[in-house]
Amino acid sequence: MESGNPPDDILQSVSGYAPTDNLIAPPVQNLPPAAPSAPPAPPKLPTHVNEEQARAALQHLAGENLCWGRKAADEMDMTSITPSSAFHYKLETFTESRKTKWVFVPYNFTDVDGPFNGPAPLPWNIPINPDSLFENHEKTCPVPHTENVKPCKFCSGIGSKKCLRCDAKGKIRCSPCNGSGFVDNQRCMACNGDGNQRCADCRGDGRIKCGPCSGKGQLKWFIKLTVSWQTHIGDHIIENTGLPDSLIRGAEGEVPFSDMQIMVPPVSHFPVNEINAASMSLVSQHATGFPNERIIKQRHQVRVIPVSEIQGEYKGQLCTFWVYGTNNLAYAPDYPQKCCCGCNIL
């Protein structure tokens, strides 16, 4: 299947479609007002780690890094554990977009669904549903009643084209004898003294099969509709230690609030006002941020992730590390017993 500009008479037979690739804005959605979300319950703060759990998390991290010594994790003197909680607000907007373009395929003498079957439906009137929500994927289909068969414009309907390698002669100069017919004063065995060889591209015919129409001489033109589903994500993290925000996104935690509707209302009653403000901002951005896409569904949630900052000392070297998430992941950028591969760890 290839794209291109069809003959003018085909364009005139189909109304409502542009002759080139075209991303079509959806019709205005008349959506009912979003149902108010139930006020979230006071967030249940996750349990933080004790020294034994912090050491186990650090030992696991050291074991995952081949060049880290385990002894520092085993023997580190942990002088303080400071617990805190991070908050992660996440909004997901699942949208649909539609674009069209004229394409052609070789005509294999099958049935044709052309304008004689009725007017072509507009792109957003063609029923196509996503396979699943909040997963990016794509579907294509012909727009009904847009098929039209025309002689192939690349070969003028013949089904073959002049062979360029031999200039339609069916023969090319013999390479071993350079066209002389002789090699070392002996008749050339490759061309039997003729000085020419049969063209391998056209097999001596002088013409080759037309690629676009596969030798059929006719092309079937139609409009291809491409429907794309995409998930747009916006989030906001509140975390007041030295732990990178990117780690909070992947950590496990408690979910005191979640909601899913066609259009969700902003979170407004969460005990942490910064979350309410972030939700208001992101929901507003997503409501108007995708003018060429139709919103299918939205969902948002607030997660609470435990974070413990641990101060430790190993052989006089101070170390700060963090244990975060209900699955007790560790982050230790200044672990005191790192080395390069191949070094001995004492």
- Contact indicator for 162, 202 with CB cutoff of 8 Å: no
Neighbouring CB atoms inside 10 A of 281's CB total 14
Residue 23 has a pLDDT of 82
- Contact indicator for 213, 131 with CB cutoff of 8 Å: no
Structural tokens at position 150: 């025309």
> What is the percent of the chain where pLDDT is above 70?
94
State pLDDT tens for residues 17-63: 777 677 888 888 777 677 776 666 666 667 789 999 999 999 999 99
- Contact indicator for 147, 114 with CB cutoff of 8 Å: yes
Residues whose CB falls within 8 Å of the CB of residue 35, separated by 6 or more in sequence, listed in order: 261, 265
CA angle 324, 325, 327 (to 5 degrees): 115
Provide the mean pLDDT of the chain.
Answer: 90
Interatomic CA distance for residues 3 and 282, integer angstroms:
38
Give me the residues paired with residue 197 across strands: 172
Is the pTM higher than 0.75?
Answer: yes
Report the candidate in 141, 152, 145 with the shortest Cα–Cα distance to residue 101.
Answer: 141
- Contact indicator for 322, 309 with CB cutoff of 8 Å: yes
Report the candidate in 83, 44, 34 with the shortest Cα–Cα distance to residue 279.
Answer: 34
State pLDDT tens for residues 105-153: 999 999 999 999 999 999 999 999 999 999 999 999 999 999 999 999 9
Q: Per-domain residue ranges for the chain?
A: 1-142+229-346
Give me the residues paired with residue 331 across strands: 322
Helix (H, G, I), strand (E, B) or coil at 28: coil
Residue 345 has a pLDDT of 46
Residue 38 has a pLDDT of 64
Place of tokens 């957003």: 124
pLDDT band for 179, please (50, 70, 90 cuts).
confident
Element (DSSP H or E) covering residue 57? helix 51-64
Interatomic CA distance for residues 238 and 88, integer angstroms:
6
**Higher-scoring residue by pLDDT: 8, 80:** 80
State the average pLDDT over residues 161-178.
92
- Contact indicator for 275, 40 with CB cutoff of 8 Å: no
Answer yes or no: is pLDDT of 346 > 50.
no
- Contact indicator for 49, 85 with CB cutoff of 8 Å: no
Report the candidate in 317, 284, 313, 315 with the shortest Cα–Cα distance to residue 298.
Answer: 284
Interatomic CA distance for residues 169 and 223, integer angstroms:
39
Query: What distances in angstroms separate CA 311 from CA 54, 308, 318, 324, one per listed residue?
Result: 11, 10, 7, 14
Helix (H, G, I), strand (E, B) or coil at 61: helix
Residue 4 has a pLDDT of 75
